[in-house]
Amino acid sequence: MVVATLKQVAAHAEVSVQTVSNALNAPHRLRPDTLARVNASIELLNYRPNRNARSLRTSAVELIGYCVPSWPNQTHLVMDQFLHALCAAAERTGRHILLFTAPPGVEGMPVYDDLHARRLVDGFVLSQTETRDPRHGWLKEKKIPFVSFGRVWKESTQPGAWVDVDGAAGSALAVRHLYETGRRRIAFLSWPKTSGLAEDRLDGWRSTCAELGLPTAGLAVRCREDTFAEGARATAHLLDSPEPPDGIVALSDILALGALRELTRRNLTPGRDLGVTGFDDSPLADVAAPGLTTLRQPMDEIATHLITTLTTQSHAAHLLHPTLVVRGSTAPG
């Protein structure tokens, strides 16, 4: 069956084309009986507005671009959660997500420009934000709408709107939870200093420990990369120290699982002998045994804020809070 057009619906309902258009976009303008008649015809002919014609006329495509990241060495285990949430949020406003690939950083900007100039998308959601991300200024200068998932760190004035999750608050939650389950020496597994994300989460651990009067000296370990082996190595290092910790807050689920593995290897029981927490609530946290206590990013909230910020063109900043998902790895000690 070929799709019906406005014209055909109009002919069937014996009104003008514009009236049918109004029935869809401004029903209050129609007399109730006309509206009913038109709607009946719409229903009967199974009419669906042609999005291309609409976009051509209104010059708004209701499509949001998202560059699908390809990390050579970093794993992104929660990308499916993020995309699902982003899609759902977009659909709640009648929009959709258009995926594309582009070189990382500022080299990719011509691709963004092209997509926007050719009217494939109205704007962009950026992720994988880096310190002083050059993409922000570029897009702003070209007047291309965008919103960033992730703060542009260390900048007092942001060139654009952003949404982010408070990593420090996340660490604070983890530390307090470990404290409440009886731990008093809480270590932190981190990454190299180059990552703004890592510093944020590390700061939260440090300040919360200070507030609770807990020691931090010698309890922060930097892992070289995000692997099980590095998490295990760092944990081994901590456990072999004169004063081993009784709790570990890890910067990622992967490091945390590495920690769990090291505990198991030493015949220590995670949760009982030592509390361990991860970050991001990746699928791994659930399939691990014991389940990994971790900090869940509020994906739906993030996505909703991203979409509304982008579509209302507001220059807002949203700092959201992660929530603690408690599983076996922090069973009361």
Q: Which residues bind a copy of itself (CB under 8 A)?
A: 3, 46, 48-53, 55-56, 59, 61, 63, 68-70, 75-77, 79-80, 83-84, 87-88, 91, 96-101, 114, 117-120, 226-229, 232, 254, 258, 261, 264-265, 283-284, 286-289
Residue closer to DNA by CB (options 39, 235) is 39
Pick one of DNA, a copy of itself, none as the site partner of residue 22 (Cβ within 5 to 8 A by kind).
DNA
Strand order across the beta sheet in which 220-222 lies: 220-222, 186-190, 247-250, 275-279, 293-296, 323-325
CB of 9 to DNA, least distance (A): 8
- Quick one: what does residue 17 bind among DNA, a copy of itself, none, with the CB cut-off 5 to 8 Å set by partner type? DNA
Instruction: Name residue, tokens 């708004």.
Output: 60
Give the whole-angstrom CA distance, residue 209 versus residue 242: 20
Question: H helices of the chain, where?
Answer: 6-13, 17-25, 32-45, 51-58, 79-92, 109-117, 134-141, 167-180, 196-212, 228-239, 253-265, 283-287, 299-312
Backbone angles phi, psi at 161, to 5 degrees: -75, 150
Give which of DNA, a copy of itself, none residue 149 binds (C-beta under 5 to 8 Å, depending on kind).
none
Residue 182 site contact among a copy of itself, DNA, none (CB < 5 to 8 Å, cut-off depends on kind)? none
Closest to a copy of itself by CB, 126 vs 168, is 126
| Near DNA in 22-81, by CB under 7 A | 22, 24-25, 28-31, 33-35, 47-50, 53-54, 56-59
Nearer to DNA, 2 or 217 (CB): 2
Look up residue 291 and give its DSSP letter: P
Quote the least distance from Cβ 10 to DNA, whole Å. Answer: 7
CA distances from 47 to 6, 24, 28, 43, 58 (A): 8, 11, 20, 7, 20
